[in-house]
Amino acid sequence: MANETIKVGFIGAGANTALRHIPGLRAQQGVELVGVANRSIESSQTAADKYELGEAYPTWLDLVEDPDIDAVCIGTWPYMHSTITLTALDNGKHVMCEARMAMNGSEAHDMLTASVANPDLIAQIVPPPHLMVCEQHLIDLISDGYVGDIVNVNVRVTDGSGFPDTDQDAHWRHLRDLSGNNVMTTGIWYENLIRLVGTASSVSANAQIVVPHRRGWAGTREQMTIPDQIDVIYSLSGGGSVNLSVSTVSGTFAPKTDVWIHGTEGTLHVQTSGLGNDPVVTGARKGDDEMFAIVVPDDKRGGWRVEEEFINAIRGVEPITRSNFTDSVKYMDFTDAIQESWQTGMRVYLPNS
């Protein structure tokens, strides 16, 4: 499809689809946005009119089975990701699927298997944006020995944290029927860390459900079964360990989300304060008296180009690196290991990945 128009349909035109994928795909040359399917034909028509997406389809299956559509962007909640992806690949569509990849590792592996069976089709999971600006520079620093061998990585994630509130409406991320084994942004931050320090070999997790009930969408009182506070310790396959704490109930005075990478030769510290701001990177090596600011060189500075990469991959210009199905399955396996560990109190060993 090097020179052909690529026709894209949207399944679930939610917040991130409207914010990033619709404008990102529209900005690509030779791409036409031709249709949308939401949970009802009325919602589909509203989205089609609002975002100028062409035809409003009565169901997602009608859109996927349309032979005129070349690629689909899946923006539903995780409970539909596997079903739609498998059907889309079976119908010859390229797939961009919103994170989280699936409900659990089993579904994710099914998606990977289907992708491998269709090597002519591009399959992408939307990657985490938190460290895009500085990621390549951090990878290069670590690879060049700035910190030496990894000893410990300490990560505290408090994005969107507030004090516990039982009057707060339940979000789909709180509901296992919609989100599966995913816990807050734990899997997404694990994906960030994989790029910097590698994969986990074993996992121990301690979790809490601090707010046991929230108000459901119909005004009902819903019991929560997904943690809102979790502490994970995991061993790295390449040596060293990671302490990862994720919370949405630490209160409004919680510190900024930060990452400390401690090694035998030095330390790196990355602090974030929301997706609209660049991460602040500092570091020091053995013998230094203080931490110094680390400026990301312009030629290594990254940014959001997910939709561009997707279209380029379809045209054969570049491969999918952020994120392909092979890499994304790893954070789903990690998510399952966390679920098993915090429920059994046992250390869980991950498959080789």
Q: How far is CA 303 from CA 23, 48, 180, in A?
A: 15, 28, 29
Contact 101, 329 (CB under 8 A): yes
CA atoms within 13 A on the CB side of 55: 16
Alpha-carbon distance of 143 to 139, in angstroms, equals 6
Arithmetic mean of pLDDT, 209-230: 92
Which burial class, exposed, middle or buried, applies to 173 when counting CB atoms under 10 A from its CB (0-12, 13-18, 19+)? middle
Arithmetic mean of pLDDT, 239-245: 98
Q: Which two tokens stand for residue 328?
A: 């994304």
**pLDDT tens column, 24-43:** 999 999 999 999 999 999 99
Arithmetic mean of pLDDT, 216-236: 93
Q: How confident is the model at residue 352 (pLDDT cuts 50, 70, 90)?
A: low
Q: Which element (helix H / strand E) includes 269?
A: strand 266-272
Mean pLDDT (the chain) is 95
3-state secondary structure of 96: strand
Q: Which two tokens stand for residue 273?
A: 């304060």
**pLDDT tens column, 145-183:** 999 999 999 999 997 789 999 888 999 999 999 999 999
**pLDDT tens column, 268-291:** 999 997 777 899 999 999 999 999
Arithmetic mean of pLDDT, 94-123: 98
**What percentage of the chain has pLDDT greater than the value 90?**
92
pLDDT at 218: 83
Arithmetic mean of pLDDT, 139-146: 98
Arithmetic mean of pLDDT, 130-138: 96
Q: How confident is the model at residue 1 (pLDDT cuts 50, 70, 90)?
A: low
Q: How far is CA 158 from the centre of its chain?
A: 16
pTM for the full model? 0.95
Residue 244 bridge partners (DSSP): 155, 232
Residue 156 bridge partners (DSSP): 245, 258
Residues 6+ apart with CB under 8 A from 62: 37
pLDDT at residue 353 greater than cutoff 50: no
pLDDT at residue 71 greater than cutoff 80: yes
Angle subtended by helix axes 186-197 and 135-143, to nearest 10: 40
Q: How confident is the model at residue 217 (pLDDT cuts 50, 70, 90)?
A: confident
Arithmetic mean of pLDDT, 60-85: 98
What structural domains and CATH numbers belong to the chain?
A: 6-126+305-321 (3.40.50.720), 135-303 (3.30.360.10)
**pLDDT tens column, 306-322:** 999 999 999 999 999 99
Contact 150, 197 (CB under 8 A): yes
Q: Which residue has the tokens 């609209």?
A: 276
Which burial class, exposed, middle or buried, applies to 228 when counting CB atoms under 10 A from its CB (0-12, 13-18, 19+)? buried
Q: Which residue has the tokens 């991959």?
A: 313
